[in-house]
Amino acid sequence: MTFLFDIGRVLLDFDFETSLSQLLPADTLDPATRLAALIERKDDFEAGRIPEPEYVQWAIERLGGGITPEAFRHAWQHIFTPNEPMWSVATRLAADGHRLILFSNTNSIHCPWIFETYPRFSIFHGAVLSHLAGGIKPDRPIYEHAIREHGLIPEETRYIDDLPANIATGREFGFRAWQYDLNDHAAFEDWLAGELGR
């Protein structure tokens, strides 16, 4: 059986605000607005449409300048916390012989850094990463890319993601999908047991 796993808020929780806010001077007015502005071009960055140096420089300017690219990248990377219950599941599925594939909107600052920082990603057999695939979820082309690149049979593929729009597109393709909630892992375990016939 093949499992498609999103990364953010499934395998790794994340908190951009706490990490990036450390780059701002203590007297910054309305820091939340400055941080929110970075989302403006994040989709284009994660779709591979903006080169990393261009995005980093633009983001630094939006934050108010005076930040080195190295400091920005460090803050951008250090947002993650492993979701241990899901890692237990993924490790068990891999040990049982299932094929695991990452399917994530991400970017060149996070990948391959997270794979070096969290070696446990080596249990995955492949990956579809938005910045390399040239598209982002929930847009249909990246799902088509995943199916083509990994020879997926959607009806035989289980797909786990936290965002409803991503799940909706997955279901349009025929994936057996679950919208994951970090605060209700038990519900996912119940669904998985049913899918595995336990």
Number of domains in the chain: 2
Host domain of residue 50: 15-77
Point out the domain boundary residue: 54, 77, 100: 77
How much of the chain exceeds pLDDT 90, in percent? 89
Looking at residue 76, its amino acid is: W
Check whether residue 43 and residue 72 sit in a common domain: yes
Check whether residue 7 and residue 37 sit in a common domain: no
Check whether residue 165 and residue 86 sit in a common domain: yes
Check whether residue 120 and residue 60 sit in a common domain: no
Q: Give pLDDT tens digits for 147-167.
A: 999 999 999 999 999 999 999
Check whether residue 108 and residue 157 sit in a common domain: yes
Q: Give pLDDT tens digits for 95-121.
A: 999 999 999 999 999 999 999 999 999
Q: How confident is the model at residue 6 (pLDDT cuts 50, 70, 90)?
A: very high
Reply yes or no on whether the pLDDT at 198 is more than 80: no
Check whether residue 128 and residue 171 sit in a common domain: yes
| 160-195 CB burial, b ≥16 within 10 A, e <16 | bbbbeebbebbeebebbbbbbeeeebeebeebbeee
